[in-house]
């Protein structure tokens, strides 16, 4: 008897409640995983993608935002960033050279970063407590093979602090959070950092990301790419030209193609000192494109040629890549590289990390690490960013109503079902 009573009550509730929390209407969806590049409406419910179709009835959503004229993409994924800030250590990426991510990410559509080796097994849990667990940006980490992480040359070249077992154990303890092992900044002639990073990564079943440090004849790039690195490992700083990526005649080192054939991924890692037009333009002309676009965000790159994720993506637009290609290399490709295939796509059921991006046209300029200029006529800006279905950034108020059309004495207009900021205000009062 009670069950019978419950059925009509449910029916009434489902009529009264909109099916979706949020509907992004009229945008051009780019979802590389699902091979969509077309006008689509996107509905979000309970923090997840609920429907993507050519037309979704606005009446089914509690909140509708008109995003026509914009691209709607998965939240951008930057797999090379440095965000272990706040320790107070000078001249250290486990300190002052890193940045807290939220002020650099959400405003350019980035919802996920992977920290590229700021911490090793000795300080990873401090990093986790200090930054990872307290940020709105989704943060993963490559664990440095150096136990002390990126605390400076004295630590980073200490062959005795590149222990395989504790690194692998820490990676396994934080499986899913630690997405790879990093080796970086090594100045010596030995293969030890690469070998030990590979050994730890093998034990933990995760990839290695290699910043190949100083160029040393004892450990040539060709040997790294054709013998050492495995399928799924990531070579970063591909357009730096610092380690023989480019031959003297200006072409890609054949080892790059060889490595790619073996399944090695190639990542941009722009940074403060790892991107040159005189390397990138000819390599791309010769068909050597990156798998993933990333910033190498840190204190020294954010206000120089790198700037932010969208600026790095713009550089690839300026070199002739399509918007679709640049988005794929900033969403689905990096998601696969870090084995987080639930991200970087807009499949139904995926976390609703979404960027709404506008493509501006005009006269723009893009600067490399040595201050050389390349002109371009396209620029991506970020209109809206959603993390788990909640608005975490907006530029031009696309989701809002003009102030003089609101009731006198209006209060906060957002609703906690789609607007993160609504939490900090008392609910809007009706008058």
Q: Which is nearer to Zn ion, 116 or 338 (CB)?
A: 116
> CA distances (Å), 278 to each of 121, 144, 152, 343, in order?
37, 30, 29, 33
Binding mask of the shown chain, residues 266 to 305, with x at each position contacting Zn ion by CB under 5 A: ------------------------------x---------
CA nearest neighbour of 143 among 157, 159, 160, 163: 163
Residues 97-156 that bind Zn ion (CB under 5 A): 116
CB of 300 to Zn ion, least distance (A): 10
CB of 54 to Zn ion, least distance (A): 42
Q: Which is nearer to Zn ion, 161 or 296 (CB)?
A: 296
Q: Which is nearer to Zn ion, 196 or 294 (CB)?
A: 294
CB of 271 to Zn ion, least distance (A): 6
Closest residue to Zn ion, judged by C-beta, is 296
Per-residue b/e over 20-46, b at no fewer than 16 CB within 10 Å?
bbbbbbbbbbbbbbeebbeebbbbbbe
Read off the tokens for 308.
């932010």
CB of 274 to Zn ion, least distance (A): 8
How many residues interact with Zn ion (rule CB under 5 A)?
2
Q: Which is nearer to Zn ion, 267 or 296 (CB)?
A: 296
CB of 185 to Zn ion, least distance (A): 8
Question: Rule CB under 5 A: is residue 78 a binding residue for Zn ion?
Answer: no
CB of 97 to Zn ion, least distance (A): 10
Q: Which is nearer to Zn ion, 101 or 414 (CB)?
A: 101
Cα separation, 154 vs 1, in Å, equals 76
Q: Which is nearer to Zn ion, 113 or 328 (CB)?
A: 113
CB of 130 to Zn ion, least distance (A): 19
CB of 367 to Zn ion, least distance (A): 19
The answer to whether 337 touches 267, Cβ cutoff 8 Å, is yes
CA nearest neighbour of 369 among 294, 288, 252, 277: 277
Q: Which is nearer to Zn ion, 116 or 145 (CB)?
A: 116
Q: For residue 23, what are the β-bridge partners?
A: 43, 64
Q: Which is nearer to Zn ion, 32 or 293 (CB)?
A: 293
Query: Contact residues for Zn ion (CB under 5 A)?
Result: 116, 296
């Amino acid at each position: 008897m009670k069950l019978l009573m419950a059925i009509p009550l449910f029916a009434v509730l489902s009529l009264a409640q909109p099916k979706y929390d949020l509907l992004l209407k009229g945008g051009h969806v780019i979802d590389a995983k699902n091979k969509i590049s077309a006008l689509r409406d996107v509905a979000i419910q309970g923090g997840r993608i609920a429907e993507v179709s050519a037309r979704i009835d606005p009446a089914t959503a509690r909140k509708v935002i008109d995003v026509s004229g914009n691209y709607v993409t998965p939240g951008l994924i930057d797999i090379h960033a440095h965000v272990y800030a706040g320790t107070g250590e000078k001249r250290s990426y486990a300190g002052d050279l890193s940045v807290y991510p939220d002020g650099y990410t959400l405003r350019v559509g980035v919802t996920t970063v992977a920290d590229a080796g700021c911490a090793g097994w000795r300080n990873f849990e401090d990093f986790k407590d200090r930054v990872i667990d307290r940020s709105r940006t989704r943060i993963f980490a490559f664990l440095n093979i150096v136990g002390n992480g990126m605390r400076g040359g004295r630590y980073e070249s200490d062959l005795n602090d590149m222990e395989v077992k504790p690194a692998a154990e820490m990676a396994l303890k934080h499986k899913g959070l630690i997405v790879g092992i990093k080796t970086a900044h090594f100045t010596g002639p030995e293969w030890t950092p690469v070998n030990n990073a590979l050994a730890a990564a093998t034990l933990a079943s995760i990839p290695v990301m290699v910043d190949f440090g100083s160029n040393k004849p004892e450990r040539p790039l060709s040997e790294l790419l054709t013998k050492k690195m495995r399928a799924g490992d990531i070579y970063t700083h591909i357009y730096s030209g610092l380690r023989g990526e480019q031959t003297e005649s200006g072409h890609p080192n054949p080892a790059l193609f060889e490595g790619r054939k073996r399944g090695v991924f190639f990542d941009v890692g722009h940074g403060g000192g790892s991107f040159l037009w005189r390397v990138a333009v000819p390599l791309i002309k010769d068909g050597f494109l990156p798998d993933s676009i990333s910033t190498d965000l840190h204190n020294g790159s954010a206000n120089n040629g790198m700037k932010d994720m969208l600026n790095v993506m713009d550089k690839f637009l300026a070199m002739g890549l399509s918007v679709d290609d640049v988005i794929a290399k900033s969403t689905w490709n990096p998601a696969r590289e870090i084995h987080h295939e639930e991200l970087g796509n807009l499949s139904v059921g995926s976390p609703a990390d979404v960027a709404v991006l506008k493509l501006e046209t005009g006269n723009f300029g893009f600067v490399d690490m040595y201050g050389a200029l390349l002109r371009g006529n396209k620029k991506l800006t970020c209109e809206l960013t959603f993390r788990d279905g909640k608005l975490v950034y907006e530029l031009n108020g696309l989701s809002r109503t003009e102030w003089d059309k609101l009731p006198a004495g209006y209060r906060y207009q957002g609703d906690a079902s789609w607007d993160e900021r609504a939490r900090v205000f008392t609910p809007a009062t009706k008058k």
